[in-house]
Amino acid sequence: MELVEVKEGLARILVPKAKRIYDAPIFYNPVMSLNRDISVLSVKVLKPKRVLDALSATGIRGIRYALETPAEEIWLNDIKEEAYGLMKKNASLNIEGELWEEGDRSYLWGEKIVVINRGDANRLMAENFRYFNFLDLDPFGSPVEFLDTALRSVRRNGVLAVTATDTGVLCGAYRNACLRKYLAEPIRGPLCHEAGLRILIGTVVRYAAKYDLGAEVLLAYHRDHYFRVFLRLKSGAKKADRSLSQLGYLWADKSGRFEYERGFLPSRPGASGPLWLGPLKDKSFAERLLESAKDHPLAHKKTVPFLQLISEELDVPFHYDTHTLARSCSLTPPKLETVIQRLRELGYRATKTHFSPTSVKTDAPFRVVVGVMKNVQAD
């Protein structure tokens, strides 16, 4: 395996040389450096003591946690033998300390404790019951096969971070897979990404509820080909009940109109869900991330603008796609800024959304948004 060195954040790591990222024997995707930036900033802001990077591949994520955050004990894990070898190499290249090995596990003792493990993530998490303050699941595809053990391995009041790259499944391109994996009906069309993200959160909330854990969303977003969610887990049946009460259903039609409703079961046919209808961020957490991003050695130049967009985004369920609305009313799509401005003049709240460059998030009803669009056209 030929290796090349790449720089990301404060880390320098060796990755397999490959023409296409999916051909490499050990996975490294530079596009995900924004995902890792935001994760590193989260760990920096939250200051968890023990962190697990359960699906490490090259080790980049866990190594960045060790180098760029105050975490004291960092675990890296992968099931692949080759990945285990590379994680050890990369950890020793970046982190000072003495390495000693014990079967499928190595320890790097220095200022911090870094544990490098080869094994099934589910087994490792099951063996470490309520141990980690911050647990990161960043798999290929769906995280569902790791959720149960992750929820048992994270400490009460700890944070679970989850990536899902099975966007086609959560967005309704593969409906049956969504029913199987997430027990939820997806939706296609302009709301598919927000609905997919909310289906993912809804699934974690339902898995957590059986352990009497409630979940608070610190941050959830969609970008590129993936979804990412940071959840604070709160102990107690009442907390779990409260989280479940934020689940519900969505109805949307071709004109861009939508309705949603909280409830355990849908009140009528044609619903998408169940999905999370609660907040997608804790505003102060998002602002702290943005603040700490400004003086951090970030890997991706879009991290700060993206965090800025997310912290300013109005946190209400779903959004109106101005192009869809324009099409159904036979209008030329107006400038998004103008629509936002007009809605604000009418006393509504309105912002851009990271889900789509042509959409508006607003608390104005559908008919008002359509009215505004028609007025802009008439001017």
Binding site for ligand SAH (CB under 6 A): 27-28, 32, 36, 55-58, 60-61, 77-80, 83, 120-121, 138-140
Nearer to ligand SAH, 27 or 221 (CB): 27
User: Is 45 or 79 the residue whose CB approaches ligand SAH more closely?
Assistant: 79
CB nearer to ligand SAH: give 226 or 355. Answer: 226
Q: Smallest distance, Å, CB 132 to ligand SAH?
A: 15
* Shortest spacing between CB 151 and ligand SAH, in angstroms: 16
- In the block, residue with structure tokens 């609660």: 278
Q: Which is nearer to ligand SAH, 43 or 244 (CB)?
A: 43
Q: What is the largest CA-CA distance in the chain?
A: 74
Alpha helices in the chain (DSSP H): 33-46, 60-68, 81-94, 121-127, 144-153, 167-170, 175-182, 192-209, 237-244, 283-293, 303-312, 322-328, 336-345, 366-378
CB of 125 to ligand SAH, least distance (A): 9
Among all chains, which residue has been given the structure tokens 């967005």? 171
- The 8-class DSSP code of residue 329 comes to T
Reading phi first (left if > 0) and then psi (alpha if -120 to 50, else beta), residue 196 is in alpha
Distance set, CA 309 to CA 221, 312, 320, 353, 355 (Å)? 11, 5, 17, 7, 10
Residue 21 contacts residue 268 (beta carbons within 8 Å): no
Q: Report the nearest approach of ligand SAH to the CB of residue 72 (Å).
A: 21
Q: Which is nearer to ligand SAH, 118 or 342 (CB)?
A: 118
| Shortest distance, position 86 Cβ to ligand SAH, whole Å | 10
Q: Considering beta carbons, is residue 78 or 194 the nearer one to ligand SAH?
A: 78
Q: Which is nearer to ligand SAH, 57 or 215 (CB)?
A: 57
Q: Which residue has the tokens 């090995």?
A: 101
The CB-of-336 to ligand SAH minimum distance in angstroms stands at 33
Contact 54, 30 (CB under 8 A): no
Residues 39, 111: Cα–Cα separation, whole Å: 22
Specify whether the CB–CB gap between 181 and 169 falls below 8 A. Answer: yes
In one-letter notation, the amino acid at residue 371 is G
276 pairs with which residues across the strands? 247
Residue closer to ligand SAH (CB basis): 139 or 273: 139
- We find the least distance from the C-beta atom of residue 82 to ligand SAH, in angstroms, to be 9
Q: How far apart are CA 268 and CA 61, in angstroms?
A: 44
Write down how long the chain is: 379
Nearest approach, Cβ of 30 to ligand SAH (angstroms)? Answer: 10
Position 167, amino acid: T
Give the span between the Cα atoms of 30 and 32, in whole angstroms.
5
Report the residue number, 62 or 274, with the smaller CB distance to ligand SAH. 62
The least CB distance from residue 24 to ligand SAH, in Å, is: 10
- Beta-bridged to residue 15, according to DSSP, are 4
Smallest gap from Cβ 252 to ligand SAH, in A, equals 33
> Where is 133: in which H helix or E strand?
strand 132-137
Q: Which residues contact 17 (CB under 8 A, 6 or more apart)?
A: 2, 3, 4, 24
CA-wise closest residue to 253 among 191, 323, 176: 191
**CB closer to ligand SAH, 139 vs 186:** 139
